[in-house]
């Protein structure tokens, strides 16, 4: 009986250890971009504008600029913000999950690392949605499918111009690029 209890406890401990170590890599995705920072941002912005499903650009933030302004030395980071009222409306209408508005707008981060490469980071919307019940899971599965399209690049097409906010805020966000309001 003691061996059974010990085995169960060790199994539970192992499962908790694995979940703790694997959860971050499951919740967030990171990939290397085939392009430089600004071209990657521009291509993602164009894909968002062409995605349909109510998606619009809601901002472009530069959190690295704010750190640099305070005297810090960090590599470039740009955060693209987009929202789809088609997907945000059901969540915002439901009192039981309205707290998930903290995840709006959808953010995709494009950044440099010390290896000189440009990376793209985003939340695993499909997995996150499953944690909050069937309605949110359904909505977030559509968000995840659209996000995948945002990150498909056709290298044979010329790079579009990057859309910069008129506010120019280093982390302040602000102006919607491409209209549509926010979420």
CATH number at residue 68: 3.30.310.70
- Predicted confidence (pLDDT) per residue in 113-125, tens digit: 999 999 999 998 8
- 10: in domain: no
| Closest residue by Cα to residue 83 from 135, 154, 161, 146 | 146
Domain count, the chain: 1
pLDDT of 15 reads 60
Identify the residue whose tokens are 């290397």: 32
- CA 60 to CA 176: how far, in whole Å? 8
Cα end-to-end distance, the chain, whole Å: 56
pLDDT of 170 reads 42
How many Cα atoms within 13 Å fall on the side-chain side of residue 139?
24
Burial group, residue 87, by CB count within 10 angstroms (0-12, 13-18, 19+): buried
Tokens of 28: 């967030």
- Predicted confidence (pLDDT) per residue in 94-114, tens digit: 999 999 998 888 999 999 999
pLDDT of 112 reads 97
Range of the domain at 66: 26-150
Residues of the chain with pLDDT under 70: 4-25, 166-183
pLDDT of 131 reads 87
């Amino acid at each position: 009986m003691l061996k059974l209890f010990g085995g169960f406890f060790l199994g539970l401990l192992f499962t908790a250890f694995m979940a703790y170590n694997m959860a971050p890599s499951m919740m967030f995705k990171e990939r290397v971009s085939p392009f430089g920072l600004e071209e990657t941002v521009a291509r993602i912005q164009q894909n968002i504008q062409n995605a349909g499903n109510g998606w619009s650009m809601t901002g472009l933030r530069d959190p690295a600029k704010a750190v640099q302004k305070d005297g810090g030395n960090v590599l470039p980071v740009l955060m693209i913000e987009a929202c789809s009222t088609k997907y945000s409306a059901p969540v915002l209408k439901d009192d039981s999950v309205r707290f998930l508005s903290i995840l709006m707008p959808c953010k995709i981060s494009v950044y440099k690392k010390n290896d000189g490469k440009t990376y793209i980071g985003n939340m695993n919307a499909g997995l996150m949605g499953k944690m909050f019940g069937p309605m949110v899971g359904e909505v977030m599965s559509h968000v995840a499918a659209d996000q995948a399209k945002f990150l498909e690049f056709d290298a044979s097409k010329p790079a579009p111009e990057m859309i910069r906010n008129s506010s120019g805020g280093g982390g302040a966000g602000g102006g919607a690029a491409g209209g549509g309001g926010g979420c």
